[in-house]
Amino acid sequence: MFRDIPQSVEVTQGHLKALEAWRCAQGMESKRLLPQVTLETGKLLALLLANCPAGDAVELGTGAGYSALWLALACRATSRKLVTFELDAAKIELARHCLDAAGVWDVVELREGDAVEGLKSLSEFSFCFIDADRSMVREAYELALAALVRGGLIVVDGTISHESEMHQFLFDIEVDQRVDVVIVPNGAGLLICRKV
């Protein structure tokens, strides 16, 4: 999966990282258009998805499409599809450009609109990556868990960097009998839940 990354995907990922660095250098951090996962987190997401039970994948919070590119690699390797949701118009425009440049439309569907509402229309998927507004994480988790196949994974980004905002949610998940849970201190921190 990682030894045979299409050049179009690698180039697009490189452009996104360069754009993010430039925006930070210009003092645009507070209005970041590109909150992106790290390289290591992207690879971990792809490995997790590739080893899930059969079923498609869902992403809440497309951003610029960087994590979707990693998930697309796993989708191609395992004959899956990714449905990714984004609400912000500027991010949608950038994501469309990046996904087009990377040539991943065969495995990625970008849906504009509220991710929680979008989740309500899906069922029987095996992987859900939640990288969206912290205020919607609990509701998104519950909807995703209800539609997730047994053995499937829900991965929530930002659990360490946003721990104060997510403290009660993280506590509740630790004792949730419906899932096995681990927090991985990778990037901003990943909560990984496997449906039992």
Residues 29-38 pLDDT 10s: 544 555 578 8
Residues 44-84 pLDDT 10s: 999 999 999 999 999 999 988 989 999 999 999 999 999 99
With cut-offs at 50, 70 and 90, classify the pLDDT of residue 8: confident
d(CA 6, CA 16): 16
Using DSSP bridges, classify how beta strands 148-157 and 190-195 pair: parallel, antiparallel or unpaired.
antiparallel
Q: What predicted TM-score, i.e. pTM, was given to this entire model? A: 0.88
Domain ranges of the chain: 7-195
Share of the chain above pLDDT 90, in %: 63
Side-chain half-sphere CA neighbours of 58 within 13 A: 29
Q: Which CATH architecture has domain 7-195?
A: 3-Layer(aba) Sandwich (3.40)
